[in-house]
Amino acid sequence: MRRFNHSSEEQIKQALEHLPRVEDKRSKEDIYQNIVRHSRKPRQKPSKKWVVPAFSAAAACLLLLVLVPNLMSLNNQSGSPGGTGDNAEEEADMSTMEDSETQERSTEEGSSDSGGGATSENAPADDKTEDSNSADIEEEPPVETGEKEVSYENYTAALKQEDIGQEENAVTIPLQNAQASLVVPVTFIAEPSQNPMETLEQQSDNYNGEELGLGPSPLRDIDWTDGGDNTFLEADFDEKETPVSSAESNLIVKSLSETLRYRDETEVLLTDDGDSGVDLGSYGMMEHYTEEENNRGYYVYTSDTGRSFLVSQQAADLENSNQNGELLTFDETLEHMQSVPDESNAEPSIPADVSFEAVEEEDGAARVAFAENSEFPEEGNVRWMMESILFTAADFGYDQVVFEGISAEETGGYPVNQPVDIPIAPNRVPEE
């Protein structure tokens, strides 16, 4: 646009009449605000914020005196859309002006975020950004530490002698985990009027372990018979499907061991429709299974539902011998129970921060004395540590254990400094 200096008002009017007609849909207030914002310059020093607004206001007033009369005249004229070169240049100038204003606003918002203070227009956007950042932090996945978190609240405690009446009997059946990789013994209390062998067969066939996060018993569909005099059991595989894989046959053998472990009998005769011998895959034709005294050690297994159980070293496929193939001693077994291989489905039953001052025999009982520097888990979580030690002592032929170096409040209900009887069986399933 040409600028006329020192011209009369009449000359200005005549010149304006020859200008191309421009149609601007913006209001006067929008035009004025764009001019004011365009005249502002970035603030360089926070301490002199008053200089830029004052200078901008003065410049805005000066431009207002020059341009507003012309713009008002152009806006009031009615005409066809302009297609001249001057109009195109003016639209380009206006577009450039708006782009500059947008960039300037972005600069001002960035300056406000860095310490200049947010305006009322920026406040909702800032709040939205903060909420988005908070949501991102809350939804960030937890870091895997490689350790399973287990709690005594979901631990299936052992069945102790004082938990059953004189005429009641305990029956332990083996269940498999969901991956069919280990065996978990669970214990029921048989009704006084019910034969324990009937309870064993009934629970093996009907209890699927789903509520515990476990799978059915590998010994289901087997007919059990008591041989008498607490000497042996008979398992007839007439209706049992013959194992077709080494994994299946291995689960059956482990289950036979876990069944005998908590009974007076030490041998199972295996028959198929009354005929001696059962084909157990990789084990070949097996006519009987004899439970040998063995030092197992006990560990913790947590199912997919968060329930925790004690499992033996044998059932969890963990080592119970040293590098020379020699069976571990009692104290060596307790040390092994403080760690497991990374690929194991089981977890240690004794914390690594627990140290033993003495593990020995005293007056026919096992004496387990903890060192002063031992750090015990919470009161509840120490329960499976105590019970894993008790069942391990039973594997070494002890009927009682004396615990020292630990307070009564830390033992999960077990007494200290006096003999503690070995529980009847692990993992008692409460009655519904």
Domain ranges for the chain, please list them: 9-109, 161-292, 298-432
Res 120: pLDDT: 40
Res 78: pLDDT: 44
Res 313: pLDDT: 93
Res 61: pLDDT: 66
**Backbone phi and psi for residue 6, each to the nearest 5 degrees, phi listed first:** 55, 35
Q: Which of 176, 188, 426 is nearest to 310 (CA)?
A: 426
In angstroms, rounded to a whole number, what is the distance separating the alpha carbons of residues 304 and 367?
Answer: 36
Question: Is the full-model pTM beyond 0.75?
Answer: no
Q: Which amino acid is at 216?
A: P
Which residue ranges of the chain lie beneath pLDDT 50? 1-2, 4, 44-51, 77-93, 95-98, 100-102, 104, 106-150
Pairing of strands 365-370, 400-404: parallel
Placement of tokens 């020059």 in the chain: 66
